Structure 1
């Protein structure tokens, strides 16, 4: 049996942070019911990187496997009543509405707890549910900027650069996933449910524990490096360096070893621990000049054999063919009714006894509406009336 087999999750979230958290719960066997509007969640139709798909885009497919879809109009009393009835049979209720929206819909913690006292109720927001920023839009780029993460990216002579992926959404999703598991464990031990609040602001600050502590504990001010060496929290040489035919990632290199490999005794005169911060640019420029003299593959072989921490800078095409990625089975594949063969990133961890698994692909809108309402005991005639009146789809 899956580790979360027998648990039910009501997922009223949209975009990335909420859906990614609930998908991880589904990967562990929870019955995740995606409650979406009768027209479908907006992300079904919003192209991600231009990948529109046939009827469902790549982003939605990547965030909604292992879920069943119930399409319902929550603005109608009969629609909300269906959610209350489902909540009474559920273990987790998760939403990422802007602060105040759940209250207006009658889907706040107290309303849901009234029908299921031991519910684990999860609210995901951008900045917290109160305070001066509570009603600002909680978007990934904005949170990178607010929390200082964006200010660390890029070169000193250029503008701050954001991360190339939605890091704020991702860390918030994993924080919510972690919090749900902790709350369920508490309920197993005590019988108590609880309200869980997760916000992108706190998640992003917690993620930067080392970088922010350099400032708060060590008193070192934040700064950006030059193009070769953008990460200023780690001694040089550290960064992405151009080679004759591409780029090389190099970290924590012994300067004596590099001096021997490059045939450059002057490089060994620098002490990495003493000079790696105060003379980072000179060291980085010297290393960069040597690395331009050979190919990436050659440096991987030569420096790797000397114990230097080096790696390739792969494109996504490279990642898909990487032998370790293939060995790990890092991607999952399945057939989707409208999109054909789908390949998406798989599971972030392994478990010997109760591993995460693919139970079903991302649902079509309302694919399981009749099935879910039938499990509530609603007669076929009542379900048909709900369809006719536009309450469900």
Structure 2
């Protein structure tokens, strides 16, 4: 039994930020009902990296475990009737529609609150609920660009450097997850529900608390040098460096110690916090010239012995094979009815009394439509009629796939 067992989450979100937030609530035991179009959520038809799968692609699998799928046409009166009945049973409502879409569907906060005054309503947007950018599409790379983070890495004169992960989507997801839990806690204490708004721009800014404050309080501008550097506000050496057989990451070592190990009197004579910033390019060039003389393993052993922070630069294959990753159980492996054995990143938290677990694989489109409608009191004959009319969809693992057309993205 999970810590959120007995709570119901109604997830009308698409892409990554909303689905990941809702999945985390499901990982903690909530009954998460993913409401998606009869043709399936957008992410089902846009496989990241081209990993299409059999009937469920890898990106959808990664964001939608521990959910049930209700596939329904929200533009039809019958579909709105179903979701209205569902809303009355919910504890948390999550949506990341573009501005105006929730209102047109009758699923904005005021409409949902009128149906269920006790529901915690989480609205995720790109730039905010209102303001000059409210109507813009929120996408990870665009928000990385507008958050200022791209100017923190790389070399002067090179293009700005985006993150190698969907960083803003993930940060926003965890902000929404945290906010939903806070909303539930407030409701338990006071009996009051509320509207919670989360936006990608604020999340991307908030995660840069140190960097932004260095500029806004300390008035130190971002500055990229002539040599590649891992972070504009951190002293050298800081970044990934080539070795004889690969790369290692080196983070803010004492320059005197590092200079001795590298056989560089010039480096050994430098001051960490003054020269480390003012002579960043020179330090980086010295280190880059010395490290290719030994293998990554040789350097790591020597650096660790001398208390210097260093690590190998991994590929995903290396991550999966790492002994600490295996010890931690950082990945979960389970059986999916159409995709076979599935291994995906697991849970970033550990609860000793109510541990997170995979109780449901990522669903097929509408896989649980019949079960959910049965729970809402819909007679079997009515469900059969709605299926025949195309107002709902109900795939099952043993049946051929249906609904191949991509759903219109709402956000």
TM-score by length of 2: 0.94
Q: Are the structure 2 counterparts of residues 227 and 357 from structure 1 closer, same or farther at C-alpha, using a change threshold of 3 Å?
A: farther
2:222 aligns to what? 222
What corresponds to 1:176 in structure 2?
A: 176
> Cα offset for 1:252?
1.9
Match of 1:365 in 2: 365
- Give 1:44 shift: 0.7
* Cα distance, 1:227 vs structure 2: 4.1
Corresponding residue for residue 310 of structure 1: 310
SS at match of 2:274: helix
Alpha-carbon offset, residue 282 of structure 1 = 0.9
SS across alignment from 2:289: helix
Q: Deviations over 1:316-369 (max 9, x none)?
A: 010010000011110011111111111110000111111111111100001000
Any runs of at least 4 consecutive aligned residues in structure 1 with deviations exceeding 4 A, and if so which? none
Whether the 8 Å CA contact 2:124–2:198 is kept in 1: the answer is yes
* Whole-angstrom distance in 1 between the partners of 2:391 and 2:264: 74
The aligned residue for residue 163 of structure 2 is: 163
What CA distance in whole angstroms lies between the structure 1 residues aligned with 2:269 and 2:204? Answer: 39
1:210 pairs with 2:198: no
Q: Which residue in the other structure is 1:339 paired with?
A: 339
Task: Write the distance in 2 (CA, Å) between the matches of 1:210 and 1:191.
Answer: 36
Instruction: Say if 1:155 and 1:230, in contact at 8 Å, map to a contact too.
Output: no
Q: Which residue of 1 aligns with 2:406?
A: none
- Measure, in 2, the Cα distance between the counterparts of 1:111 and 1:149: 37
**Does the 8 Å CA contact 1:228/1:241 hold for their aligned counterparts?**
no
* Contact 2:153/2:229 (<8 A) preserved: no
Between the aligned partners of 1:306 and 1:153, the Cα distance in structure 2 is 27
SS of structure 1 residue aligned to 2:222: coil
Tell me how far apart the structure 2 counterparts of residues 262 and 227 of structure 1 sit (CA, whole Å): 19
Structure 2 counterpart SS, 1:151: helix
8 A contact 1:122–1:196 mirrored in 2? yes
Aligned to 1:248: 248
Matched position secondary structure for 2:141? helix
Give 2:132's aligned residue.
132
Q: Which residue of 1 aligns with 2:113?
A: 113
Offset of residue 266 of structure 1: 2.5
Aligned to 2:104: 104
What per-residue deviation string (whole Å, max 9, x for no partner) do you get for residues 257-294 of structure 1?
Answer: 11221232222110111211011111111122111111
Do the aligned residues in 2 keep the contact of 1:16 with 1:173 (CA within 8 Å)?
Answer: yes
Name 1:185's counterpart in structure 2: 185
Partner SS state of residue 392, structure 2: coil
Q: Deviations over 1:184-226 (max 9, x none)?
A: 0000000000001000010001011111111101101112234
Residues 1:239 and 2:239 aligned together? yes
Asked if the contact 1:153/1:163 (under 8 Å) is kept, the reply is no
Rounded Cα–Cα distance in structure 2 between residues aligned with 1:230 and 1:304: 20
Give the Cα separation in 1 of the matches to 2:111 and 2:228. Answer: 54
Q: Which residue of 1 aligns with 2:288?
A: 288
TM-score normalised over the length of structure 1: 0.98
1:38–1:71: 8 Å Cα contact kept in structure 2? yes
Q: Name the counterpart of 2:397.
A: none
Deviates more, 1:28-37 or 1:257-266: 257-266
Greater mean alpha carbon deviation, residues 322-331 or residues 253-262: 253-262
Distance 2:183 2:42 in 1: 30
> Which runs of no fewer than 5 residues in structure 2 stay unpaired?
394-411
Q: Deviations over 1:45-90 (max 9, x none)?
A: 2121121111221100000000000000000111111111111111
CA contact (8 A) 1:124 1:199 kept: yes
The answer (yes or no) to whether the contact 1:45–1:55 under 8 Å persists in 2 is no
Contact 1:34 1:68 in 2 (8 A): yes
Shift in alpha-carbon separation, 1:151–1:276, aligned structure 2, 3 A:
same
Query: What is the CA distance between 1:239 and its match in structure 2?
Result: 1.1
Query: Unaligned 5+ residue runs, structure 1?
Result: none
Q: Residue in 2 aligned with 1:78?
A: 78
Provide the aligned C-alpha RMSD in A. 1.0
Map 1:372-391; keep pairs closer than 5 Å.
Answer: 372-391=372-391
- Give the structure 2 partner of residue 37 of structure 1: 37
Instruction: Give the Cα separation in 2 of the matches to 1:65 and 1:142.
Output: 27
